[in-house]
Amino acid sequence: MRHRFTPIVLASTLGALFLATTPTVSLAFPHHSIGWRQHNQERRIYQGVRQEQISGREFARLDRQEDRIARDRYRFIHNDGHLGPRERFRLQHELNHSSRAIYRARHN
């Protein structure tokens, strides 16, 4: 009789293990964090390229902008181990500027 429930227990254990170990973007980046915004803006750029709303030249310019923001963030974090309020403000300002550029590139 105990062997009858073994497949059910095994299947539910494997399902729970799979769900617990599957990374998702929402768990990797807290909502409204700088990393989440960077990921979202890169997704918008690639989506614009796929939908042929962004040309190759526009893509190169936007990609350089995103790379610069990522380098700044890396430098800020590795300077003293965390982002201070001024560094966070500067990154948010750069991300705002980049977001407007992505919007303009996709809607021109």
User: Residue 67: how many CA atoms within 13 Å on its side-chain side?
Assistant: 6
Tens place of pLDDT per residue across the chain (108 aa): 455 555 555 455 555 555 555 444 445 555 568 999 999 999 999 999 999 999 999 999 999 999 999 999 999 999 988 889 999 999 999 999 999 999 999 998
Q: How many CB atoms lie within 10 A of CB 101?
A: 17
Q: Name the phi and psi angles at 40, rounded to 5.
A: -65, -40
pLDDT score, position 26? 45
pTM: 0.70
